[in-house]
Amino acid sequence: MEIPYTVEAHPETGLNNGKIGIWLFLTSEVMLFGALFATFIMLRIGSDGNWAAMQAEAELNIPLATVNTAVLIASSLTMVMAWASLMRGQLGRFKLFGWLTVGCGGIFLVIKYFEYTAKFEHHHYPESSTFLAIYFAMTGLHALHVIGGMAWNAYFTGPGSKVFHTNRQWLTDRVEHSGLFWHFVDLVWIFLFPVFYLL
């Protein structure tokens, strides 16, 4: 049995079902991170002026986090370039930009690893302070999303790209959907960076 509307648009929505599906998933993600941001606001308001002291004690590395922000922004560019390459019918360039996106995700995680290990070496753990608890919770959840996005992109850039020769539009649509997730992960970091490191 063939699943309908995987490539062609559904007459009711004007979009294929994958596109509707990924946007509904992203709305649930907005609420997931929204709940954590609301928790962050509550903890900060209720810290009785101790927030700045806890933040200073955590010794977050601003230069490393700035590099990580630039890496994620660059990965968003390579992601849209991968999609644009498929729209142009250029499989080689799609693979190049696809692997660059996965690579940027890898660099982000390596930098995050160094940041986390530096914290642990100074005995800064989630239970050490309210600030570190919410810091590890939110950046840790974000890192899990980066890992998920990397796996998704690696599949379509690697074994999934064989579909290019039989159903190019299907692959182009799926890469657009994985790109939407990847850009959302970038978007979340755009707020996490100033909220934890700078403000």
Partner 1 sequence: MSEHVDIDKQVRIYFLVFGALMVGTAATVGAYYLDVSVPVALTIGLFIASVKASLVACFFMHLIDEKKIIYWTLALTVAFFIALMALPLLTSVTDQVGEFAEVEAHEAH
Q: Which of the stretches 38-46, 53-61, 114-122, 142-150 binds partner 1 when contact is defined by CB under 8 A?
A: 38-46
Which of 8, 21, 41, 117 is the binder for partner 1 (CB under 8 A)? 41
Q: How far is the CB of 99 from partner 1 (least distance, A)?
A: 18
Work out the burial of residue 150: count CB atoms within 10 Å of its CB; fewer than 13 is exposed, 13-18 middle, 19 or more buried. buried
- The CA-CA-CA angle for residues 174, 177, 181, to 5°, reads 140
Which of 15, 64, 96, 109 is the binder for partner 1 (CB under 8 A)? 15
Alpha carbons 80 and 75: distance in angstroms, whole number: 9
Q: Does 77 participate in binding partner 1 (rule CB under 8 A)?
A: yes
Alpha carbons 156 and 94: distance in angstroms, whole number: 10
Which of 21, 25, 31, 59 is the binder for partner 1 (CB under 8 A)? 31
Both ends of the chain: CA-CA distance in Å? 54
Task: Return the structure tokens found at 160.
Answer: 């999934």
Q: How far is the CB of 182 from partner 1 (least distance, A)?
A: 9
Q: What number of other Cβ atoms are within 10 A of residue 135's Cβ?
A: 23
Locus of tokens 């700078």 = 198
3-state secondary structure of 124: coil
Q: Which of the stretches 76-84, 100-108, 114-122, 140-148 binds partner 1 when contact is defined by CB under 8 A?
A: 76-84
Helix 130-157 / helix 168-193 crossing angle, nearest 10 deg: 160
Contact set for partner 1, span 133-172 (CB under 8 A): none
Binding mask 80-119 for partner 1 (x = CB under 8 A): xx--x--xx-------------------------------
Quickly list DSSP for 79-107: HHHHHHHHHTT-HHHHHHHHHHHHHHHHH
For partner 1, the closer CB: 77 or 109: 77
Query: Which stretches of the chain bind partner 1, using CB under 8 A?
Result: 13-15, 19-20, 23-24, 27, 30-31, 34-35, 37-39, 41-42, 45-46, 52, 62, 66, 69-70, 73-74, 76-77, 79-81, 84, 87-88, 176, 179-180, 183-184, 186-187, 190-191, 193-195, 198-199
